[in-house]
Structure 1
Amino acid sequence: MSTLKKLGYPENTKLLIIHADDAGLSHAENQATIQALQEGSVNSTSIMVPCPWFGEMADFAAKHEQYDYGIHLTLTCEWKHYKWGPILSKTEVPGLLDENGYLHNNRENFKNNTSSEEIKKELQAQIERALQSGLKPTHLDSHMYTLGLKPEFIKIYKELGAAYKLPILLSKQLIEFLGLDPNLYISNDDFCVDNVFLGNYADFEKGQLEAYYERVLDNLPTGLNIVLIHTAFDVPEMQGIAIDHPNFGAEWRQIDYDFFTSQKCQSKIENNGIKLITWREIRDILYPEG
């Protein structure tokens, strides 16, 4: 059964989630994401529980339940100087740690050093911490899509979604990008996003990131689509975090914020017959019993 049929929409429907990753990363990230939810076309975000600014975003979410909040399951820490560790004690999940006691800074080190048991324990702790904060999550997704790196990681991802009755961001495109054959790990019964759109560094380098987003909206296919963005203000705090990391860095995140809070973006959504849908709506369809 197609994704649209599962959601009860006609086959010619263009559904779109405009999703801002990495809430909780920093104050600049939180403030831009909040404003993008309140004033822009962004209609979904997800929060990184282990990050230093989780509390600020969780507090906002608890007081503004009308917005769409996922848990951005976090098992890596990619920045040069800005670091965090796991929720659990370091003796409980030693394989998740680098030589300095922080989460690994790239997918390969994470993939080669951790165990499924540690991953599941840590992710359950992150979800429970989010629930204890008052967050009412709409879905689960994966930071840097680390849960798509191995079949056993995908299994954990699915198990967590089923256990907490939350849809997960499952995507054949993202699994394929990480080197696995998605057809071996995704069945017809799994709920999948049909198309994932993510800005690329070549367009950013040429100053054409906004033009890329315009093309996506002008040519959006039918089915369930998601545009993954990262909204933050290009201020000293975010510049310091993203030093030596222009890919999804401070300037990039400001561009994402500027475009997806613009009238141009809103007009393109309307003129192209796009229907915005949230993970909250999807959750309530897939898990009507709550």
Structure 2
Amino acid sequence: MSEIRLVVQGDDLGMCRAVNEGIITAATDGVLTQTSVMAPTPWFAEGAMLAKKLGIPTGLHVTLTCEWEYLRWGPLTASPSLRDADGLFKRTVEEAMLGGADEAVVEVNAQIDRAQACGLELSYVDPHMGVSLVPAYEAACARLGKKFMYPNINPHHEFSTSVMWLSLASRRDRGAWFADQLERLGPGTHMVMAHPAVPSDELRAVTPPDAENYFWAEPTRIADLEALCAPEVRKIIENRNIELIAARDL
């Protein structure tokens, strides 16, 4: 076993087809080692099928919000307190805080049920948009983790020596930034959080270009994919004998 271990996670599988394609590409042509699935999203069924077919390790990306203007999804359960005026998930964590904890538990159970029904073996639970920071949803995730015996991984505290937020690095130099971070890694288990996607009209259309969160639509996702597939990144991993692993290996 190498002294340096690296988990490379791609979030949001199922959000849209461009994200599904980006995550699959990052796993087959790049260094991605696991993906977090969003069970209520429009392209979840395809994403789950591809992850299972290719053997990509998965975890549940607990989804209790929908941040986009034009790409929308809602709860799998009735859960009226989790819905906005259109009957879909609320857009922000702050709005989602108004939801009921009991309904959140029921909804998260339904999301795991859907993932399992698609044949996914979930090895961890993590939050979309950081909803675990909300006490009610944190309790829901904890109860779910105990019930289903999945580790509710908090990458900041529970198992990793460090966390790298690839999606927040400069888009222009993201591959170089990632390579530099890999050169600096010391012994331990490290984690990279990414949101890869392929360029597409679909991705550009999820929210207006002048929206505050447009950065999270297409720009940062394309840059993430390029960095995860960069030859210099693979070369450093090989030269430094960095072991690529998933949460299920811990």
TM-score > 0.5 by shorter chain = yes
The count of aligned residue pairs is: 247
**TM-score of the pair, normalised by structure 1:** 0.79
Q: Is the 1:167–1:279 contact (alpha carbons within 8 Å) kept by the matching residues of 2?
A: no
Q: Is the 1:88–1:122 contact (alpha carbons within 8 Å) kept by the matching residues of 2?
A: yes
Q: What residue is the counterpart of 1:96 in the other structure?
A: 82
Q: What residue is the counterpart of 1:132 in the other structure?
A: 117
Among 130, 133, 157, the residue aligned to 1:148: 133
Q: Matches of 1:209 and 1:73 in 2, distance apart?
A: 27
Shift of 1:242: 4.2
**TM-score of the pair, normalised by structure 2:** 0.90
The superposition leaves residues 16-74 of structure 1 with CA deviations (integer Å, 9 ceiling, x where unpaired) of 1110000100111111211211121111111110000001011223333x321111110
Q: Is the 1:75–1:96 contact (alpha carbons within 8 Å) kept by the matching residues of 2?
A: yes
Q: Matches of 2:249 and 2:18 in 1, distance apart?
A: 28
SS of equivalent to 2:214: coil
Residues 225-236 of structure 1 aligned to structure 2 (within 5 Å): 225-236=190-201
Q: What residue is the counterpart of 2:164 in the other structure?
A: 197
Q: What residue is the counterpart of 2:240 in the other structure?
A: 272
Q: Matches of 1:277 and 1:201 in 2, distance apart?
A: 22
Shift of 1:214: 2.4
Q: Is the 1:25–1:48 contact (alpha carbons within 8 Å) kept by the matching residues of 2?
A: yes
RMSD of aligned C-alpha atoms? 2.0
The superposition leaves residues 119-153 of structure 1 with CA deviations (integer Å, 9 ceiling, x where unpaired) of 11100000001111222222211111211232x43
Q: Matches of 2:13 and 2:138 in 1, distance apart?
A: 23
Q: What residue is the counterpart of 2:188 in the other structure?
A: 223
- Structure 1: stretches of 5+ with no match in the other structure: 1-8, 174-190, 283-290
Q: Matches of 2:61 and 2:70 in 1, distance apart?
A: 21
Among 105, 123, 145, the residue aligned to 2:108: 123
Q: Is the 1:48–1:73 contact (alpha carbons within 8 Å) kept by the matching residues of 2?
A: yes
| Off by >4 Å, runs of 4+ in structure 1 | none
Q: Is the 2:24–2:51 contact (alpha carbons within 8 Å) kept by the matching residues of 1?
A: no
Closer, same or farther: CA 63–202 of 1 in aligned 2, 3 Å: closer
Q: Matches of 2:169 and 2:52 in 1, distance apart?
A: 38
Residues 250-269 of structure 1 aligned to structure 2 (within 5 Å): 250-269=218-237
Q: Is the 1:142–1:169 contact (alpha carbons within 8 Å) kept by the matching residues of 2?
A: no
Closer, same or farther: CA 277–127 of 1 in aligned 2, 3 Å: same
Identity value in percent: 28
The superposition leaves residues 90-143 of structure 1 with CA deviations (integer Å, 9 ceiling, x where unpaired) of xxx1111122221111111112x1121111110000000111122222221111
Shift of 1:163: 2.0
Q: Which stretch of structure 1 is more off in the superposition, 157-166 or 130-139?
A: 157-166
Q: Is the 1:33–1:231 contact (alpha carbons within 8 Å) kept by the matching residues of 2?
A: yes
Residue 165 of structure 1 aligns with an amino acid whose one-letter code is M
Shift of 1:232: 0.6
- Structure 2: stretches of 5+ with no match in the other structure: none
